[in-house]
Amino acid sequence: MKSCKIFILIISLFLSLCVCKRSSEVSGDFSFYSPSEEKTPFPLVAPIPVKNVILMIGDGMGFTHIVAARTVVLGAQGRLTIERLPVTGVIDNYAADEFVSGSAATATSLATGYKTNEKMISVLPDGTPALTILEAVREKGLSTGLVATSTITHATPAAFAAHVINRYHEAEIAEQLLKCKVNVLFGGGRALFRPGLSGYKFRRTDDRDLIEEARKAGYSYVETRDELLQLKAGTNYVLGLFNNGEMITEYPAPTLAEMTEKALAILSQNEKGFFLMIEGSQIDWGSEDNDINYTIREQLYFDLAIQSAIRFAMNDEETLVVVTSDHESGGMFISVNPPNKLDGKINIQWGTDEHNGTAVPVFAYGPQAERFMGWYDNTEIPKKIANILSVQDFPRKMIKE
């Protein structure tokens, strides 16, 4: 009997430790985020033809991530930039084989308009490659770009310009990104491009130096913030690899906003227009770690990048900005202490250290933004973009080489 009681005591101690681990208080320094007093939505604009599309993906970002970040830096009554986009929608994000999806299958849906299985990158469950929206607009002569704070070969950016049956084949994805001649590639992942580099779980196992190959193919190459900021106007192809593995997301590395602004300066030189995908990759990682300070920091860096994109779009007037997420991570739950006080200190509890199957938000600004209203499937996003950019025959399977 006594040993039974001790056993129950040990189990309850263990359980209470688990619960504690899943609850976190906010204590980070977010002074890099300069709050705007402005709360009103950005205006709806006339539905003229769209020349450029910027698609922004907060990896793992759910509604609660946005509310938590806003409440911490602006109070409950403030508004982050993301919340001021005038059109909102909701998307479902299940995969072809699982309800709670991973980033590879959801990114494939956002890039190709098809559902696929877990871990697959822009191929259908039977292995047939599916054309991505980036490849489709490239065929029409638009410039293209991918910007991320993960390795640039990570699931989300990869799904826009590569086709592999397993997302972890990042060295092969690196080859495909360059073969696709994406104009701008900014992120981490040097170890996937150059042999002999450490600092990441995957690396090149052959002796190809893809950075040299890229240079020979006409790319400028940068790997520091200063080199990025000093890039000359007139550059049409740029490979920017800012770490061997995933990026550190703040100084001395370029921030997501700085990469966004440089990408926009390069891509907007094309009179025919451009398609740019920007990922706030590490919102997901902060949430999977159940680390509220990391999560909010990444959410706010993503918000600053959205600010840069909106500023460009307001000035340009022919640019559509769509902001969404691939799935929710962390199952975040907000309460306040003391309870029921509007200005209480927020306390976060986590439901999981993985993804969950809840729907995620969509926000849009610019001409044709209204098309993103409503509740629909994630496969609709690239179909709507294709329609807006007059891309025929999308979604489309590719013939296997």
Sheet bearing 23-25, strands edge to edge: 23-25, 345-350, 332-337
* b (16+ CB within 10 A) / e for 33-69: beeeeeeeebeebeeeebbbbbbbbbbbbbebbbbbb
Taking only Cα atoms into account, the Rg of the chain, rounded to an integer number of angstroms, comes to 21
Contacts to Zn ion from residues 323-362, by CB under 5 A: 326
Distances (CA, A) of 8 to 4, 21, 166, 205: 6, 20, 44, 51
Q: Nearest approach, Cβ of 330 to Zn ion (angstroms)?
A: 11
Looking at beta carbons only, is 99 or 251 nearer to Zn ion? 99
Residue 261 binds Zn ion (CB under 5 A) = no
Question: Residue 14 Cβ, how far from Zn ion at the closest point, in Å?
Answer: 30
Nearest CB to Zn ion, comparing residues 59 and 170: 59
How far from the centroid of its chain's Cα atoms is residue 306's Cα? Answer: 11
| Number of chain positions touching Zn ion (CB under 5 A) | 4
> Nearest distance from residue 283's CB to Zn ion, in Å?
9
- Tell me whether residue 148 or residue 214 sits nearer to Zn ion (CB atom): 148
- Residue 93 or 308 having the CB closest to Zn ion: 93
Pick between residue 24 and residue 106 the one whose CB is nearest to Zn ion: 106
Q: Which is nearer to Zn ion, 24 or 156 (CB)?
A: 156
Residue 361: cis peptide before it, omega within 30 degrees of 0: no
Q: CB nearest Zn ion: which residue?
A: 103
- Specify the residue, 59 or 380, whose C-beta has the smaller distance to Zn ion: 59
CB atoms within 10 A of CB 231: 15
Give me the least distance between CB of 58 and Zn ion, in Å please: 9
Sequence-ordered list of residues with C-beta below 8 angstroms from that of 85, at least 6 positions apart, any chain: 41, 42, 306, 310, 321, 323, 363, 364, 365, 369
Q: Taking the complex as a whole, how short is the minimal distance between the CB of residue 287 and Zn ion, in angstroms?
A: 10
Partners of 384 in the beta sheet? none
Q: How far is the CB of 184 from Zn ion (least distance, A)?
A: 22
Site string for Zn ion, 284-323 (x = CB under 5 A): x---------------------------------------
- Residues near 7 by Cβ (< 8 Å), separated by ≥ 6? none
Catalytic site positions? 103
Binding part of the chain for Zn ion, among 52-60, 65-73, 87-95, 213-221 by CB under 5 A, reads 52-60
> Judged by CB under 5 A, which of 103, 108, 176, 368 binds Zn ion?
103
Among 56, 59, 147, 152, the residue binding Zn ion under the rule CB under 5 A is 59
Give least dist CB 325 to Zn ion, A: 8
Could you tell me which stretch among 34-42, 54-62, 185-193, 335-343 binds Zn ion (CB under 5 A)? 54-62
Kindly list the residues in this chain that would bind Zn ion in the complex (CB under 5 A). 59, 103, 284, 326
